[in-house]
Amino acid sequence: MSANNYVVIEGVVEDLDLFDVHVQFLKNAKKKQHTTGIAATIQAATAQPGSIHSAQATNDSGDPVKGFRMSLGNQAVAGNFWQTTFRNGDWVQAIGEMQGGVFKAIAVVSPAAGTIWMQPHCERGTLAKKRHLIKYSIVFALAVFIIEAFLLRNVEIPIWLLFLTSIVAVATILVVTVGMSWKDFMGFAMELDKVGNALKVKNPEEMDLILSTKKLRKQGKPDLPMGVFYL
């Protein structure tokens, strides 16, 4: 993932070509195949979109996504999203960088609809992602403690020892799971930070596309395909 700042180009979608492709986004998890499937498990436990697809991604050639090629003005643009639902004739903004004469889109925005298509796993900025992981890690820790307390309810064991064993078990599991995927998680979050910066969003590290989409859906906005969000 590039360290450079992203730029925004815009125009009418032309010559749109869609195709199915597998892309390996979970690069750090892929390097550790001895823990195959754990990345997907922790994603599911922490309510990460695409966790089912990621179970496949850690085992084979990557996430099954919808690739696209198109033209914005005279510029060739390409990218990969969970679902690509913009069409020829739509006015959009593409956010990304040039790679070999082709503009690689990390995100595409429809200003008229207030929606954004994001590269898979990039739904939260860095601060929002850290808060989310901490929140669900605490929930997970409490769940382990409650389960242990229930299973050992008829066993004479001091509460401090039960609490200690719970902490050790939770710490071990989180180090193996969250720790293994931390670079991936933060890499995805930094991508959204960069997209937010390019769009001149205030505090892009606080962006949470899942939360903003849920709020607008509660206000009556229609459902969106996987990987498409309300800004």
**What tens digit of pLDDT does each residue of 31-46 get?**
444 333 434 444 444 4
| Residue 144 belongs to some domain of the structure | no
Taking residues 103-107, what's their average pLDDT? Answer: 95
Domain that holds residue 89: 7-121
| Residue 20 belongs to some domain of the structure | yes
Q: What tokens appear for 197 in the block?
A: 């910066």
CB distance 24 to 57 below 8 Å:
yes
What does each C-alpha distance from 42 to 59, 77, 108, 138, 183 come to in angstroms? 15, 33, 28, 13, 14
| Residue 229 belongs to some domain of the structure | no
Q: Is the pTM of this model over 0.85?
A: no
Where is average pLDDT lowest: 124-128, 158-162, 207-211?
A: 158-162
> What is the predicted pLDDT for the residue at 205?
95
Residue 165 or residue 230, greater confidence: 230
Q: What tokens appear for 24 in the block?
A: 């390996």
| Residue 160 belongs to some domain of the structure | no
Distance in angstroms (rounded) separating the CA atoms of residues 55 and 52: 5
| Residue 55 belongs to some domain of the structure | yes
CB distance 227 to 83 below 8 Å:
yes
| Residue 189 belongs to some domain of the structure | no
Rg of the chain over CA atoms, in angstroms? 20
| Residue 154 belongs to some domain of the structure | no
On the question of pLDDT at 217 being above 90, the answer is yes
Distance in angstroms (rounded) separating the CA atoms of residues 224 and 229: 7
Number of domains in the chain: 1
pLDDT digits (tens, 9 = 90+) for 50-93: 444 444 444 456 788 899 999 998 899 999 999 999 999 999 99
